[in-house]
Amino acid sequence: MSMADAVMIRRHVFNGGTALPCLDADSNDTGDLDLSDAVATLMHLFEGGVVLPSPASAPGGDPTPDGLPLCRS
């Protein structure tokens, strides 16, 4: 997880669907990919204490069912 992840999410949200390697980059696990996911990522990186939901710490599938497509491996 890096600042580049937050930038890519922001570009996706504001630039009409800029390609992401993983559309299930739902950093706050709300089931939507929006600006709050970029904010959650930045808070995790710079404020500490904000724990991102699984699988943020290691590659893997999202254990929370939502409408976002699963990531390619």
Taking the domains of the chain in order of start, what are their residue ranges?
1-73
pLDDT tens digit sequence for 11-34: 888 887 667 776 667 777 787 888
Distance CA 48, CA 65 (A): 26
Residue 38 clears pLDDT 60, i.e. is over it: yes
Distance CA 42, CA 72 (A): 24
At residue 37 the predicted structure's pLDDT band, cuts being 50, 70 and 90, is: confident
- Long-range interactions of 27-31: CB distance < 8 A, separation 24+: 27/52, 27/53, 27/56, 28/52, 28/53, 29/53, 29/64, 31/64, 31/66, 31/67, 31/68
Phi, psi at 12, each rounded to 5°: -60, -45
Residue 72 clears pLDDT 80, i.e. is over it: no
